[in-house]
Structure 1
Amino acid sequence: MTDSIATATPPSTDIGHDRLRRAMARGAAFLGSDHAIMAGAMSWVSERNLVAAMSNAGGFGVIACGAMTPELLDSEIAATKALTDKPFGVNLITMHPALDALIEVCGRHGVGHVVLAGGLPPKGSLEAIKAGGAKVICFAPTLALAKKLIRSGVDALVIEGMEAGGHIGPVSTSVLAQEMLPTIAADVPVFVAGGIGRGEAVAGYLEMGAAGVQLGTRFVCATESIAHPNFKKAFIRASARDAVASVQIDPRLPVIPVRALKNAGQDAFATKQREVAQKLDDTALALAEAQLEIEHYWAGALRRAVIDGDVEHGSVMAGQSVGMVTREEPVATIIESLMDEAASALERRAG
């Protein structure tokens, strides 16, 4: 009798993980991964090693194309495929001057998912991506834009709050999720991002209707991450309040705020904006050129920190979840922790 009862009632951990699998089923099926956990695409960090490790551990890695040329992206995708036979995606910036060529590279490699970031997809880009056999994932910072993207045919959306690292919007993740998930989650898979550092938050967003989540900051200090030891140490030492957003100095420069650890590099960005604004005043630069100079600043500052280890003058982009990054550990261990925490939370909430 005792044995039959034990068989009929699985251990509590099994109950939680079963609930988690069912909650993630839609997102995992869409991504083709074991778990509906996407890795945020972080320039200089999200390259072949971290991407492959993420996918091999059951998550979904995403290459950050950033300012790569088509030739560099071609090499990076090939190198990633040599390290994993699991699905992974490629993040492309919509304003990249060679976007069409980058899309063609993804299609030639059979990349299954392309993530478009940086604004509305240019005309014809969605069709070109789908013609190459890939699914399209876009970022939606507002409900109105989310609905527009769904009508245009995107396959999934990421809603990312201001707690995230790098370029951010003005609204928090929790508010975006409350506003958007009840309206759009039934239409396409929606992945929630920004400020997520533990599995309890993952469970909460899944219960609200998310198909999965996206985390970036949590994986920067993974063993497989090529980020400079100084960069990782800065993360491990930081608290949530150290990750601050940059400010816009001149209204003519529509600078998207960037969240990073406060340092001399953050202060230097304010000086850089003043310099560029002065060039506008002196008609030494056109507005488009001025905006491009700002973007080039961030690209260079980020490389100095991630690759060269200059965490004082470079840009240490980090989300507010950085306070939950306490040590360097393998990607598989991070994912296992997130899954266990999420499963335990779902089990507790089930009574």
Structure 2
Amino acid sequence: MEEYANVRPLLKRGCEFLGVQYPIICGAMTWVSEPKLVSAVANAGAFGCLAGGNAPTDILRAQIGEMKKRTDKPFAVNLITIAPAYHDHLAMLAEEKVPFIVFAGSFPREKEIEAAKATGAKVLCFASTISIAERMIRFGADAIILEGSEAGGHIGHVSTTVLVQQVLYRFCDQIPIFVAGGIGTGKMMAHMLLMGAAGVQLGTRFVMTEESNVHPAFKEAFIHANARDAISTPQYDSKLPVVAVRALRNRGTAEFGALQLRLLRELEAGTIHRQQAQEEVEKFWIGALRRAAVEGDVEMGSMMAGQSVGLVDKVIPIRELLDELLRDADRELVEIKRKLSC
């Protein structure tokens, strides 16, 4: 019997769109989704996203070159629309020609999606509300990553379960939709596929793989964390709009709160402009994430994690992770068939 015979028909649409064996996306994570991890994901048959983040353009270009040496499989470059080098990154991709471009951080303008598609790449855009999904589809996105607030890193405010009902059910016949946010098991993946998803995106589970280069202390913190430990940051005042970030609670979380309050005082005094204040916020997260993921400072660094961190308790190879997800999805479909025949 064909391996994963029950789940394979549900994987077909996502596989064909991404050009992979399994439409399981390893989400782009700054300081984490570098060529070693992303190419390992691609070579194992899934889909990896190289994190553009705030990297200097020449560094990102070099990483794309390294990816092309490490794998001949499809992969994406993830662009952060609020990064200082964002427009330079987008211009550079017209020369480097990657198969997929993912827009993240905020939401791209229509002309930016057009520019990305003009490179020959397929474009995926995040959506955290129904109105954003509608706008990205209208602007020409080839696929949507529907991300609920359970996810790690920069997030929206609507849960995956509500977004599935608002967006997935409505648009899944129109455009491939990949569901993200709180997806940590094959059983959940099976249900998302049954509801119309073309595939799923995971981040936290891929952090906890042997191929992930994050500091051992970072992984150890994930092992001991509960789902409730992954909290989202508040916005104290609309004068300083900040995108919520979900990470494990530590002293760095309190430090970010103090930063917001300081910036609000400076805005009130007129000693700083709002754009400068927002750039200060982004610089904080860039530095704090590096301190945790690269240097292992789990007290003051930012340990961005989704609430699915409560589902992980060990570090495993990527191949083992994919086998687990696919095996458990397949078994869940068998169980659903059994229940329906009762």
Helix, strand or coil: the match of 2:95? Answer: helix
Larger mean Cα displacement after TM superposition, 144-153 or 219-228? 144-153
Helix, strand or coil: the match of 2:92? Answer: helix
Equivalent pair of 1:200/1:342 in contact (CA under 8 Å) = yes
Matched residue, 2:277: 290
CA deviation after TM superposition for structure 1 residue 292, in Å: 1.1
Matched residue, 2:242: 255
Matched residue, 1:120: 107
- Partner amino acid for 2:194? E
Helix, strand or coil: the match of 1:68? Answer: coil
How many residue pairs were aligned? 338
Alignment of 1:24-173 (within 5 A): 24-173=11-160
Equivalent pair of 2:104/2:126 in contact (CA under 8 Å) = yes
CA deviation after TM superposition for structure 1 residue 246, in Å: 1.2
- Partner amino acid for 2:149? M
2-structure distance, mates of 1:338, 1:145: 29
1-structure distance, mates of 2:110, 2:188: 36
Matched residue, 2:163: 176
**What are the Cα deviations for residues 279-322 of structure 1, in whole angstroms up to 9, with x where unaligned?**
11221101111111111111111110001100000000000000
- Partner amino acid for 2:31? W
Equivalent pair of 1:137/1:156 in contact (CA under 8 Å) = yes
**What are the Cα deviations for residues 228-270 of structure 1, in whole angstroms up to 9, with x where unaligned?**
0110111111111111111222331111211111100011111
TM-score, normalised to structure 2, is 0.96
Matched residue, 2:319: 332
2-structure distance, mates of 1:332, 1:109: 29
Matching residue within 179, 192, 199 for 2:186: 199
Which 5+ residue runs of structure 2 have no aligned equivalent?
A: none
> Over alpha carbons, which structure has the higher Rg?
1
- Partner amino acid for 1:22? P
Equivalent pair of 1:104/1:132 in contact (CA under 8 Å) = no
1-structure distance, mates of 2:97, 2:275: 34
1-structure distance, mates of 2:225, 2:87: 39
Equivalent pair of 2:57/2:92 in contact (CA under 8 Å) = yes
Aligned in 2, Cα 1:104/1:251: closer, same or farther, shift over 3 Å? closer
CA deviation after TM superposition for structure 1 residue 50, in Å: 0.7
CA deviation after TM superposition for structure 1 residue 144, in Å: 2.2
Helix, strand or coil: the match of 1:299? Answer: helix
TM-score, normalised to structure 1, is 0.93
CA deviation after TM superposition for structure 1 residue 323, in Å: 1.4
- Partner amino acid for 1:301? A
Matching residue within 219, 224, 242 for 2:229: 242
CA RMSD across the alignment: 1.3
Equivalent pair of 2:110/2:140 in contact (CA under 8 Å) = no
2-structure distance, mates of 1:331, 1:106: 28
**What are the Cα deviations for residues 42-73 of structure 1, in whole angstroms up to 9, with x where unaligned?**
11000001101111111100011010121111
CA deviation after TM superposition for structure 1 residue 342, in Å: 0.6
1-structure distance, mates of 2:105, 2:276: 17
CA deviation after TM superposition for structure 1 residue 123, in Å: 4.4
Q: Is 1:224–2:199 an aligned residue pair?
A: no
1-structure distance, mates of 2:149, 2:284: 21
Ranges of 4+ aligned residues in structure 1 off by more than 6 Å: none
CA deviation after TM superposition for structure 1 residue 122, in Å: 2.6
Matched residue, 1:322: 309
Identity of aligned residues (%): 47
**What are the Cα deviations for residues 154-213 of structure 1, in whole angstroms up to 9, with x where unaligned?**
100011001100111111111111111121001110000001110000000100000000
2-structure distance, mates of 1:282, 1:39: 43
Equivalent pair of 2:82/2:105 in contact (CA under 8 Å) = yes
Matched residue, 2:8: 21
Equivalent pair of 1:263/1:312 in contact (CA under 8 Å) = yes
2-structure distance, mates of 1:218, 1:106: 29
